[in-house]
Amino acid sequence: MSGRMVVAGAVTSADGRLLLAQRRYPPEVAGLWELPGGKVEEGEDPAQALRRELREELDVDVEVGTRLERSVELAHDLTLVALWARIVGGEPRAVEHSRLRWVTVDELDEMAASGAIVPADTVWLPELSLRISGG
Ligand code: CDP
């Protein structure tokens, strides 16, 4: 792993859905759906960064769990990782995204098949499908 880290949240609900957020920018990925998150700042660990990002982007408090196995080397020396999370305070709303959506595993598969998921995040599809279909 090199450079700076970007952390995304695999936020799951008690009824086995996954929270996806639709990006507004930049043009290459605008309209596509991602696991919400952002860059880890100096002095933060990934879990702290994710809690901060999800407060800023979704207006919720989350409890952060373990890391998903896969990571992605993005451009600009950024490494993208994901952490499991669940909401412990608030109702998510799209502060910085255009929309939010809680998806089932079937909906996730359909969105992936139609190219609606941001490219980097597709590495997590197998892990996400396993976890959310398992309830
Ligand atoms: O909010 P901040 O500017 O810190 O981060 P961001 O712009 O949301 O994400 C930084 C980089 O990670 C961008 O290149 C995003 O496209 C990428 N990213 C991603 O590929 N998948 C995610 N789930 C989150 C971010």
Q: Which run of H or E residues covers position 38?
A: strand 37-39
For residues 128 and 14, the answer to whether their CB atoms sit within 8 Å is no
Share of the chain above pLDDT 70, in %: 97
Q: What local confidence, expressed as pLDDT, does residue 14 receive? A: 93
> Measured from the CB, is residue 74 less than 6 Å from ligand 1?
yes
Tens digit of pLDDT for each residue in 40-80? 999 999 999 999 999 999 999 999 999 999 999 999 999 99
Predicted pLDDT at 133: 80
Q: Tell me, in angstroms, the distance from the centre of ligand 1 to residue 105's CA.
A: 23
Mean pLDDT over the full length of the chain: 96
9 lines ligand 1 (CB under 6 A): no
Q: Which residues have a Cβ under 8 Å from the Cβ of 40 and sit 6 or more positions away?
A: 4, 5, 6, 7, 46, 49
Q: For the whole model, what pTM was predicted? A: 0.95
The answer, yes or no, to whether any atom of ligand 1 lies below 6 A from the CB of 16, is no
How much is the pLDDT for 3? 86
Report helix, strand or coil for 77.
coil
Q: HSE, CB side, 13 Å, CA atoms: give it for residue 75.
A: 1
